[in-house]
Amino acid sequence: MNSSLNFNRAATVLNLGSNTISLSALPPLALYIHFPWCERKCPYCDFNSHQIKDRVSGKSGFDEQRYIKALIADLETELPHIWGRQVHSIFIGGGTPSLLSPKGMDELLSSVRARVNLEPDAEITMEANPGSIEAGKFSAFAKCGINRVSIGVQSFQDEQLKALGRIHNGDEAKRAIHIALEHFKSVNLDLMYGLPHQSLEAAKSDVQTALMFQTPHLSLYNLTLEPNTYFASFPPKLPSEDEIDAIFEQNLELLTQAGYQRYEVSAYAKKDQECKHNLNYWRFGDYIGIGAGAHGKISFPNKITRQVRERHPDTYMQAMEQKGNALIETQEIAAKDLPFEFMLNVLRLSAGVDTNTFSERTGLPLHTISKALGQATKKGLLDENPSKLKASDQGLRYLNNLQELFLS
DSSP 60-122: B---HHHHHHHHHHHHHHHGGGSTTPEEEEEEEEES-GGGS-HHHHHHHHHHHHHHSEEEEEE
Question: Who's near 72: CB < 8 A, 6+ residues apart?
Answer: 108, 111, 112, 115
C-beta of residue 302 within 8 angstroms of C-beta of residue 23: yes
C-beta of residue 339 within 8 angstroms of C-beta of residue 363: no
Q: How confident is the model at residue 41, as a pLDDT?
A: 87
Q: How confident is the model at residue 1, as a pLDDT?
A: 32
C-beta of residue 244 within 8 angstroms of C-beta of residue 193: yes
Question: Who's near 90: CB < 8 A, 6+ residues apart?
Answer: 30, 31, 32, 33, 109, 112, 118, 122, 123, 124, 125, 277
pLDDT above 90 for 286: yes
More confidently predicted of 178 and 43: 178
DSSP H helices in 145-188:
158-163, 170-183
pLDDT above 80 for 58: no
pLDDT above 70 for 8: no
- Pinpoint the residues of the chain covered by CATH 3.20.20.70: 29-281
Give mean pLDDT, residues 247-273.
Answer: 97
Q: How many Cα atoms occupy the beta-carbon half-sphere of 309 within 13 Å?
A: 35
Confidence bin at 52 (pLDDT 50/70/90):
confident
Percent of the chain residues past pLDDT 90, beyond the cut: 86
Q: How confident is the model at residue 59, as a pLDDT?
A: 58
Q: What rounded mean pLDDT belongs to the chain? A: 92
CA distances from 239 to 34, 42, 223, 277 (A): 32, 20, 10, 32
CATH topology of domain 1-19+336-408: Arc Repressor Mutant, subunit A (1.10.10)
Q: Residue 248: in which H helix or E strand, if any?
A: helix 241-257
Distance CA(349)–CA(399), nearest Å, equals 11
Residues in the chain: 408
DSSP 336-403: GGHHHHHHHHHTTBTT-EETTHHHHHHSS-GGGGHHHHHHHHHTT-B---TTEE-B-HHHHHTHHHHH
Distance CA(70)–CA(64), nearest Å, equals 10
Decide: helix, strand or coil at residue 126: strand
Of the candidate ranges 49-58, 247-256, 348-357, the one whose mean pLDDT is the lowest: 49-58
Give mean pLDDT, residues 76-87.
Answer: 96
pLDDT above 60 for 3: no
Give mean pLDDT, residues 23-35.
Answer: 97
Distance CA(306)–CA(333), nearest Å, equals 7
Q: Is the peptide bond before 293 cis (omega within 30 degrees of 0)?
A: no
Distance CA(180)–CA(9), nearest Å, equals 52
Q: Cβ of 57: how many Cβ atoms within 10 Å?
A: 7
Give mean pLDDT, residues 342-348.
Answer: 97
Q: What is the DSSP letter of 53?
A: B
Decide: helix, strand or coil at residue 251: helix
pLDDT above 70 for 166: yes
- Pinpoint the residues of the chain covered by CATH 1.10.10: 1-19+336-408
pLDDT in tens, 170-180: 999 999 999 99
Percent of the chain residues past pLDDT 70, beyond the cut: 93
pLDDT above 90 for 18: no
pLDDT in tens, 351-367: 999 999 999 999 999 99
Rounded (5°) CA angle 314-127-87? 85
Q: How confident is the model at residue 392, as a pLDDT?
A: 96
Distance CA(218)–CA(189), nearest Å, equals 5
pLDDT above 70 for 20: yes
Q: What is the DSSP letter of 24?
A: S
pLDDT above 70 for 17: no
Distance CA(161)–CA(163), nearest Å, equals 5
Calculate the dihedral angle through the C-alpha atoms of 58, 59, 61, 62, rounding to the nearest 10 degrees.
-100
Q: What is the CATH number of domain 29-281?
A: 3.20.20.70
pLDDT above 60 for 78: yes
Indicate the pairing of strand 50-51 with strand 86-94.
Answer: unpaired
Confidence bin at 285 (pLDDT 50/70/90):
very high
Give mean pLDDT, residues 311-321.
Answer: 97
Rounded to two decimals, what is the model's pTM?
0.92
- CB-based burial label for 408 (10 Å; 0-12, 13-18, 19+): exposed
pLDDT in tens, 98-127: 999 999 999 999 999 999 999 999 999 999
Q: How confident is the model at residue 130, as a pLDDT?
A: 92
Confidence bin at 11 (pLDDT 50/70/90):
very low
Give mean pLDDT, residues 149-167.
Answer: 95
